[in-house]
Amino acid sequence: EDYYGLRRWGGGHFSADEKGFVCAHPAGDGRRIQLMEVIEEAMESGLKPPMTIRIQDLLRHRVELLAGAFANAIEGEKYAGRYRGVFPIKVNQLREVVEEIRDAGEPLGFGLEAGSKPELLIALALSEKAGSLLICNGYKDPAYIRLALLGTQLGREVILVVEQPSEADAIIKVAQEIGVTPKLGIRLKLHSNGEGKWKNSSGDDAKFGLSISEVMTVLKKLQKARLSDALKLIHFHIGSQVTDILAIKRAVVEAARYYCELRKLGHPIQYLDVGGGLGIDYDGSRSNFESSMNYSLPEYARDVVFNIKKVCEQAEVPEPDILSESGRALVAPHSVLVLEVVDRIAKVPEGPLPRKTKRTNHVIKDLLYTLEESKKHSQLERFHDAQQKRAEAESLFTHGYLDLKNTAIAEELYWRICDDIRQNLKRDGYIPEELEDLDTLLAEQYVCNFSVFQSLLDHWALGQLFPVAPLHRLQEEPTTEATLVDITCDSDGKIAKFTDLEDVRPTLRLHPVEPGKPYYLGVFLVGAYQDIMGDLHNLFGRVNEVHVFLEDDEENGFYIEETIDGFSTNEILDLIQYKESDLMRRMKTQIDTAIKNDTVKPREGVRLLNLFSEQLKAKTYLDTSSSKTRTR
Ligand code: PLP
């Protein structure tokens, strides 16, 4: 059974094998990589979870899927223009990711998109082939414009997109100063809104883009500067993760109308750039719920192509080349965050029940009765009785009539009763409304060695859902309802919302953790935006990384091409101005004083200073290596 919905949200990229291990299918053919094997190999070279596994071939595969979908749509619609993609670097700036996409995309006409000066520097350096396409978005100062024009001078196809009215003046000025004719684009502020969490990227109050009257002003400026012919592209972006295909259709039609009007005014526009927004179905429900999308990749491509063609046909204007800036859809699937469960916090105690004596407090006797006589009353009545008695025990404690030990016994009995009620209800098959949340109430907390703030920022900040599943034991039925908590000292550091077909689930059903054996969970589809946006809360920082590739000549083979160590403590402390040598000096002074005062023996002093020094060099996350014997 597919408990974790891998077949739903996996998009064909993930599945469980016969032995219950999660496998990735990086190339869309029969070849697969078992993720536990990757973890084992990484551990042999000293890298432990928390860890990001990047499945590099999946990047190539996604580029090919996107280009293939547009190629089919263009052929199907007999569309006259071509399709090109640009990868927005902001979605994942890691060099290995950008290079892989560039290499896979180059033969298909793909290029890069930059949204800031640092990203432009990356894009320029990586656009190594003549004619490489480079779209320049974001706020631009004169240096940004000069850099972009450097690309033009080197023979790259650089398009500077005017996003603010004032940018037109700045671009004209710099271009005239250095005598280079730029290629220009205009970002439109469409009336058509996106749908989903990021829908405020368009509409009247959007931060970017030009309104109709601003477009007209910019056109006049271009005409005055004899740059009307430089206008090669119009662009819109209605927000990331657009959940509803209707929003995309509306925006495409509106932008295509702009294109036709501008062509009629004589501007030789070549590209209609439909921006990003192509979604990822994080929950596999194929709905217009926030974490999903109600369309497929081929449907998206067909709708873009069809609607542009229709508008152009009506206006009798030649069809433009289509450009898209899909980021999330290209990179989200390629990375998996691996977490190790290091502890569990359970409410229901294990072990024998307390014994009843003559002196046992009446509240405890009553609770024991409710627990043991499970058939005499309805489960709802037992629940109410337990609630009443627990409240009574708390009140007796507050007023000094019940000691700490007996109050603890009362609390434990309360949880045992709730657990017993839950099991009876499951057997009966009928759950009264008031008891529907019992599973959530009784859920355990699985403590995982990671930081939500570093690795899943959008989950904390925006409530974005990511699919979570164990990486092994999938042939075993999971029995424990749990939420996941991280190791930051912050109660927000948790995952208590999980993807589900129908609704968001407050808990995830997991396997009981076996003593001495590790239990690994994967958080999937985290390759877009999460890497770079993470923060240093509690100073945990970047996690370890392994980059895996398929081994060509073996059916289930892979090799780890690269590993990147997560932050060590001294690296992270350095970022906030603590120098290792200074901390060591301060610590040594304190230990020397303790030795002088004879509160610490000299030999012990040396040992303590070594411990401090070792831990400065160690990784920031919990070191669980001594407590686990084997991985399977
Ligand atoms: N293009 C622009 C201008 C953007 O602002 C963004 C991100 O929001 C993208 C492309 C990438 O969008 P997505 O990741 O949804 O494809």
- Residues 514-551: pLDDT tens digits? 988 999 999 999 999 998 778 889 999 999 999 999 99
Helix (H) or strand (E) holding 427: helix 404-428
pLDDT recorded at residue 270? 98
Q: Per-residue pLDDT tens for 201-252?
A: 666 667 789 999 999 999 999 999 999 999 999 999 999 999 999 999 999 9
Return the best residue to mutate from 198, 200, 236, 240 for the ligand 1 pocket (most ligand atoms within 8 A of CB): 240
Residue 53 falls within a domain, yes or no? no
pLDDT of residue 574: 96
Closest residue CA from atom 9 of ligand 1 = 276
Q: How confident is the model at residue 628 (pLDDT cuts 50, 70, 90)?
A: low
Q: Are residues 179 and 280 in the same domain?
A: yes
Residues 89 and 167 both lie in one domain: yes
Confidence class for position 384, pLDDT limits 50, 70, 90: very high
Task: Using the mean position of ligand 1's atoms as its centre, give its distance from the Cα of residue 526 in Å.
Answer: 16
Structure tokens at 563: 């590993």
CATH number of the structural domain spanning residue 401: 1.20.58
Instruction: Calculate mean pLDDT across residues 383-398.
Output: 97
Q: Is pLDDT larger for residue 355 or for residue 204?
A: 355
What does the CA dihedral 570, 573, 577, 581 come to, rounded to 10 degrees?
-30
Q: Among 326, 353, 382, give the residue marking a domain's end.
A: 326
Determine, yes or no, domain membership for 291: yes
400 lies in some domain: yes
| 198 inside domain | yes
Please name the residues in contact with 228: beta carbons below 8 A apart, sequence gap of 6 or more.
Answer: 219, 222, 266, 267
Ligand 1 centre distance from Cα of residue 441 (Å): 39
Pair 322, 366 in one domain:
no
Last residue of a domain, one of 424, 440, 456: 440
Does 419 lie in the same domain as 305?
A: no
Do 150 and 281 sit in the same domain of this protein?
Answer: yes
16: helix, coil or strand?
A: strand
- Please give the distance, rounded to the nearest whole angstrom, from the Cα atom of residue 58 to the centre of ligand 1: 20
Same domain, residue pair 394 and 272? no
In a domain, residue 113? The reply is: yes
Ligand 1 midpoint to CA 459 (Å): 18
| Phi, psi dihedrals of residue 338, rounded to the nearest 5° | -100, 125
User: Could you tell me if residue 315 is inside a domain?
Assistant: yes
Half-sphere exposure of 117 (CA within 13 A, CB side): 9
- Are 186 and 245 in the same domain? yes
Q: What is the pLDDT at residue 396?
A: 97
Say what the pLDDT of residue 192 is.
78
Q: How confident is the model at residue 191 (pLDDT cuts 50, 70, 90)?
A: confident
pLDDT tens figures, 321-335: 999 999 999 999 999
Ligand 1 atom closest to residue 240's alpha carbon, by position in its atom list: 15
Decide if 601 is inside a domain: yes
- Best of 328, 462, 532 for a ligand 1 pocket test (most atoms within 8 Å of beta carbon): 328
State the Cα–Cα distance between residues 201 and 206, nearest whole angstrom: 5
Same domain, yes or no: 316 and 406: no
**Residue ID of nearest Cα to ligand 1 atom 11:** 276
ipTM field: 0.99
Q: What residue numbers bound the domain in which 420 lies?
A: 362-440
DSSP 518: -
Structural domain count of the chain:
3
pLDDT over 80 at 613, yes or no:
yes
Query: Residue 362 pLDDT > 90, yes or no?
Result: yes
- If asked whether residues 202 and 319 sit together in one domain, one would say yes
- Per-residue pLDDT, averaged over 35-63, amounts to 96
The answer to whether residue 489 is catalytic is yes
pLDDT at 471 over 50: yes
pLDDT in tens, 93-128: 999 999 999 999 999 999 999 999 999 999 999 999
**Per-residue pLDDT for 629 more than 50?**
no
**Quick check: is 174 in a domain?**
yes
CB proximity list for 134: less than 8 A, separation 6 or greater: 86, 111, 112, 113, 114, 123, 124, 127, 148, 151, 156, 157, 158, 159
Q: How many residues does the chain have?
A: 632
Query: In terms of domains, do 215 and 280 share one?
Result: yes
CATH number for position 255: 3.20.20.10
Q: Check the CA dihedral 619-565-25-458 and report its sign.
A: positive
Give the Cα separation of 73 and 315 in Å (integer). 21
Candidate list 23, 312, 418, 489, residue with the active-site label = 489
Strand 444-448 relative to strand 83-88: parallel, antiparallel, unpaired? unpaired
Residue of 237, 462, 532 to mutate, ligand 1, most atoms within 8 A of C-beta = 237
Q: Which residues line ligand 1 (CB under 6 A)?
A: 88, 91, 137, 237, 240-241, 275-278, 325-329, 528
Q: Which atom of ligand 1 is nearest to the CA of 198?
A: 8
Q: Determine the pLDDT at residue 2.
A: 87
Distance 113 CA to ligand 1 centre (A): 9
Instruction: Tell me, yes or no, whether 150 and 253 share the same domain.
Output: yes
| Listed range (106-120, 283-297, 465-479) with the worst mean pLDDT | 283-297
- Residue where one domain finishes, among candidates 396, 415, 440: 440
Shared-domain flag, residues 274 and 321: yes
Q: What average pLDDT does the chain have?
A: 94
